[in-house]
Amino acid sequence: MLLDDLSKFSKLSPFELKDQLIAIASSDAQRMMLNAGRGNPNFLATLPRWAFVSLGDFALREAERSYSFLDSGFGGLPEREGIVQRFETYATNHRMTDGVRFLRSAISYVKDQLGLNRDAFLAEMVSAFLGCNYPTPPRILPHIEKIVKAYLAQEMFGGVPRAGDFSVFATEGGTAAMTYIFQSLRENGLIEPGDKIAISTPIFSPYLEIPMLDEYRLEIVDIRMDEHPDWQLPATEIERLLDPAVKIFYLVNPSNPPSTKLSNAVLDQLTTLVAMRRPDLFIVTDDVYATFADDFVSLFARCPNNTLCVYSFSKFFGATGWRLGAIALHDTNVFDAALDALPEVTKLLLDKRYASLTTQPRKLRFIDRMVADSRAVALNHTAGLSVPQQLQMALFSLNGLMDREHRYKDAAKQLIRQRYQTLYRNMGVAAARRANDVNYYSLIDLQEIGGQLYGGEFEAWFVKSNLGTSFLFRLAQETGVVLLPGKGFEVVNASARVSLANLTDIEYAAIGRFTRQVLDEYNQDFKKQAAQRVEAALI
């Protein structure tokens, strides 16, 4: 592909542009393509998966108890009474695998730490593995909700005391959560075309693309992070949330792609602003990378009544294919308060919409409306995340809760932070880690690094020549490396997003060297053009 006309790609999502770059990078069969353009991790949690397998073996034996007189592959629904005792017999008579040990610990943990009935818990887990019942309630199974809530409280609240209880909706990953939130806000009249939505940028590109769709037509207010105080929100940007026309504030925390968490100072400013001047503000925070941060505290903890929290199990547990996500909302919240304050004409329309679900539709909470809306209301009785998925979600949560020494978490952090150092060391630039850095991704600031390596005149030339997208295509064509454009995530500087989760240390070393190689080539182009200008001036 010729690199002289890249304008046709200017409107593509970075994830669609990635496909073009992959086609170029893989065109040379003599080299290996290195795709660091997507955040799918190449590590995963094994213990909760072993537990899933072991529970499956026990669950099938439980199912066979009901129809043991038939030799036809028949099974029945598991019996709750005495199920823990039967599991202990099973555990004693089978090899004590990692999965069995995990399950025995989990049964003790939920009783001692969460106050759950052991038989009820295990019966729910066995039934979930077998997938023999509809998700009931559709929002999330009751014991699994208690487990997921405990996990989210551990990971999102830090040392902040919980301000009341909250509820959880299990979803098909964080992407489904995003879809359901936007959809229910619209269906319930909480957002309308022309409304202002504030978005903290840079950000995961779908958050920029969804509000522009015809069914939403929202006006985006760009609340821009500043790169040099470690990608934090300046006070002047936070103050833009004081505009009463701004209905919602969307953010990803830790950010994607800068991969930094909000500082305590920024959290304090946002908390004060909401409490004192914008108590009506809706906040939606996507905290999928929280578990890779040190001492993380979510706005869900700091502004509990205003914040709807999205979490996905995909990245930390290496489970993108499982499609496991959760929406959490405090039981006292501004979303429900806004429903109460809707005009009567709107309430009448919503009464009609939800009339098949309840005799008192106005008491239907926003989180439960999301469940119904996710299945066009009429299919609410068959809504909900599949129960085997909910089971794996619970086992992942228990893994996080029972890992008192943080062995898995520390290993995951160490792995990606080592890759970050390797990448920048091989580019030949310093990579000092700052307090709020998370490092799941890194934004390679091409113009700034170019300035460090070759001087300010080169940096100015690189910016003026608008070489950010050209760099990505040249990198793919010459070296087989695929990165994503920072521009697609609303990054101002010419930059490239690299995922530090999905390749090996030696491959990140290669990406660092190839990035430096292409920058060196641009520097040669710069010198050649400078020499030509001097020569032309002398003629």
Q: What is the pLDDT of residue 392?
A: 98
The strand pair at 441-445 and 495-499 is best described as antiparallel
- pLDDT tens digits for 371-384? 999 999 999 999 99
What percentage of residues in the chain have a pLDDT greater than 70? 96
Taking residues 339-347, report their average pLDDT.
Answer: 97
Higher pLDDT, 4 or 323: 323
> What does the pLDDT read at residue 65?
85
Is the N-terminal amide bond of 206 cis, ω within 30° of 0?
A: no
Give me the pLDDT at residue 351, please. 97
Mean pLDDT on 161-190: 96
Q: Is the pLDDT of residue 334 over 80?
A: yes
Q: What is the dihedral of CA 421, 422, 425, 426, to 10 degrees?
A: -160
Question: E strand or H helix at 197, and its extent?
Answer: strand 196-201
Name the token pair of 131. 């997938």
Selecting from 3.30.413.10, 3.40.50.1370, 3.30.930.10, 3.40.640.10, what CATH number does the domain 142-385 have? Answer: 3.40.640.10
Radius of gyration of the chain, Cα coordinates, nearest whole angstrom: 26
What is d(CA 420, CA 429) in angstroms, rounded to the nearest whole number? 12
Reported residue count of the chain is 539
Q: Could you tell me the pLDDT band of residue 536, with boundaries at 50, 70 and 90?
A: confident
pLDDT computed for residue 433 by the predictor: 81
Q: How many CB atoms lie within 10 A of CB 194?
A: 9
455, amino acid identity = G
pLDDT for 2 equals 44
> DSSP letters of 290-334?
GGGSSS---HHHHSTTTEEEEEESTTTTT-GGG-EEEEEEESS-H
Q: How high is the mean pLDDT of the chain?
A: 92
Least confidently predicted of 338-347, 364-373, 449-458, 489-498: 489-498
Comparing 491 with 419, the larger pLDDT belongs to 419
Q: Is the pLDDT of residue 285 over 60?
A: yes
- 389 pLDDT tier (thresholds 50, 70, 90): very high
Q: Please give the Cα distance from 498 to 441 (Å, whole number).
A: 6
Give the integer Cα–Cα distance in Å for 80 and 493.
60
d(CA 226, CA 202): 10
d(CA 450, CA 452): 5
Structural domain boundaries of the chain? 7-31+407-538, 47-133, 142-385
Question: What CA–CA distance (Å, rounded) separates 117 from 66?
Answer: 23
- Which CATH superfamily does the domain covering 7-31+407-538 fall into? Aspartate Aminotransferase, domain 1 (3.90.1150.10)
Say how far apart CA 357 and CA 364 lie, in whole Å: 9
pLDDT at 316 over 90: yes
Helix, strand or coil for residue 86?
Answer: helix
Q: Which three-class secondary structure state does DSSP give residue 53?
A: helix
Note whether 456 and 462 are within 8 A (CB): no
- Give residue 15's pLDDT: 67
The CA distance from 270 to 276, in Å, is 10
Check whether 10 has a pLDDT greater than 80. no
Residues 6+ apart with CB under 8 A from 106: 51, 395, 398, 402
Taking residues 94-114, what's their average pLDDT? Answer: 94
Residue 129 CA: distances (Å) to CA of 86, 116, 390, 399: 17, 19, 9, 17
| pLDDT tops 50 at residue 1 | no
Query: Is residue 48 reached through a cis peptide bond, with omega within 30 degrees of 0 on the bond before it?
Result: no
Give me the pLDDT at residue 412, please. 97
pLDDT digits (tens, 9 = 90+) for 56-82: 999 999 998 877 666 677 888 889 999
Both structure tokens of 382: 């068959």
pLDDT at 95 over 80: no
**CA-CA distance, 148 to 505, in Å (whole number)?**
33
Q: What is the pLDDT of residue 5?
A: 55
Cβ atoms of 54 and 48 closer than 8 Å = no
- Tell me whether domains 7-31+407-538 and 142-385 share a fold: no
Rounded average pLDDT over 136-150: 98
> 360 phi and psi, to 5 degrees?
-130, 70
Give percent above pLDDT 90 in the chain. 76
pLDDT value of residue 269: 98
- Asked whether residue 206 carries a pLDDT value surpassing 60, the answer given is yes
Residue 30: the pLDDT is 74
pLDDT at 501: 94
State how beta strands 166-172 and 196-201 pair.
unpaired
Q: How confident is the model at residue 313 (pLDDT cuts 50, 70, 90)?
A: very high
Q: Which of 324, 177, 321, 204 has the alpha carbon at shortest distance from 259?
A: 204
Q: What pLDDT shows up at residue 215?
A: 94
Report d(CA 214, CA 95) in Å as an integer.
58
Return phi, psi of residue 448, to 5°.
Answer: -70, -45
CATH of domain 47-133: 1.10.20.110
Lay out the sheet containing 307-312: strands in order across. 166-172, 324-330, 307-312, 282-286, 246-252, 196-201, 219-224
Residue 309's closest CA among 163, 496, 124, 174?
174
